[in-house]
Every structure is written in C-alpha cells, then in structure tokens.
Amino acid sequence: MSEIDPRAVVSPSAKIANCVKIGAFAVVGDEVELGEGCVVEPHAVVKGPSTFGRKNHFSSFSIVGGDPQDLTYTGQRVRLEAGDENEFREFCTVHRGTVKGGGVTRLGSHNLIMAYAHIGHDCQIGDHVILTNGAQLAGHSVVEDYAGISAFCLFHQFVRIGSHSYIGAGTIITQDVPPFSLIVGERETRCFGINKVGLERHGFSPERIRAIDKAYRYLLRSKLNTSQAVEKMRGTLADSEDVQALIRFIESTTARGLTK
C-alpha cells in the first residue's frame, strides 16, 4: 500500500508501485513510473516520461526528469531511465534526453546526486557514482561506475569519466578522464599577507597589527622555512598574544599543511 499525501499532485498516467511514499505538495507528472519503495519528499518534482526502479529517494525541491535544456527540443517524447536506490538531494536537476542524443538519459543504481548538482540531457551514468554539491554535467556526458566527482566541478559536453576515477573540487573537465585516475585542476591558492582592514574594523590597535604583520613577514617573505619562522617569532615577538596564537595554530596544523 502506498502513502500519497492528499496535497500531492499525481498524474492519472503515473504508475505507482507498492510502498511508495509521496509527500505534501510533491508533483509526480505524466508517464512517471515509480518502483517499489520510492520516496518523493514534500515539494519534490518528478516529471516524465521517466522510469525508476526500487527505493529511489527524491529530496525536497529536487527536479528529476525535467525537459532538456536544448534549443532543438520542441516537446518530443524523450525519456529518463534510472535503476534502484538512487539518492536525489535537494535542488538537484536531472533532465531527460533529446532525439539527437538518442532520446534517453540513463542512471544506473546506488548513485548519490547531491544538492544543486546537475545531470544534463542524454547523460549516461553508471552505478555507485557520487556527484557532489554543485557539480555540473553538460549534455551527453558519460560517467562510469564508482566515479567520484567533487563539489563544483564543471564538465564539457560529450566527455567521458572513467570508472573509479576521482576528480577534485572545482575542476573544469574538457577532456576524457581515464579510469582509476586522480584529477584536479591547478591551484595557486596562497597567502598574500594579513587582513589589515578587517583587523582595524575589529578594533585591533596599530601595535597589535604591526606585530602580526611582522610575524607574517617572517612566515611569507623571508627565506626561512615554517619551523624557522616560528622560532624567529618566538625570539622577537614573544610579548604579542596574537603572535602566540598564530604560533599555536601553525604548530597544530594537520597533515594537509598550511596555506602560505
């Protein structure tokens, strides 16, 4: 027996299996097929034609099965097909295919599509894929099994992501990613000095700011390594509580290292 909130909107042409839960103000559109145990949370939107296997979970405000964002789409009958136990988190979007792309967007099973992630038209997604918050797959992308895609990655259309690969956060992908690889865009994040304006706004005296600035000069602009810079701070700025706090922070830095 399924549980459908009376405030939900469910199309007469939708096919709802046993033990499906559909929350208040959710929308299940025309020609949607929900397998046994699916959960559609309040305010989620599932559009068709689309088919879903068992125990798929649609979080609030997700839109799954929407029209493709393609200028050639003019209402043709195109589909989305998904397997079992996929998790569609808040505000993610998954679009159906286009005629020119084969007409079907496909997802396998056990995939986690996190908040604000996007799967474009005609994408082909395998099993056990993680698409982290804000990652964006352009149309016709292929993602193989167990690929891990970090937050805010951007993918050019038609790229392939090989199985068991991992792509670091914020990476822009314009070429195929080979299986088993670790990919990350070049990063040049560095420290440029102290936040003088912010310190002034928070009432730091000129003397405190000068001490902090001197400590950072040891850390960033001298030829000293980090350990040597800390010792120099201890020898010349021992009276500054701010510098002592900086030293404690540096000495408790994790294995990931310190931004310099």
Q: Which residues are catalytic?
A: 121-122, 139
Burial class (CB in 10 A: 0-12, 13-18, 19+), 5: middle
Phi, psi (5° rounding) for residue 249? -65, -45
Instruction: State how far the alpha carbon of 78 is from the alpha carbons of 20, 47, 67, 113, 121, in Å.
Output: 24, 11, 9, 21, 10
Angle at 116 between CA 186 and CA 82, to 5 degrees: 105
Amino acid at the residue 257: G
H-type alpha helices, the chain: 196-201, 206-216, 226-236, 241-251
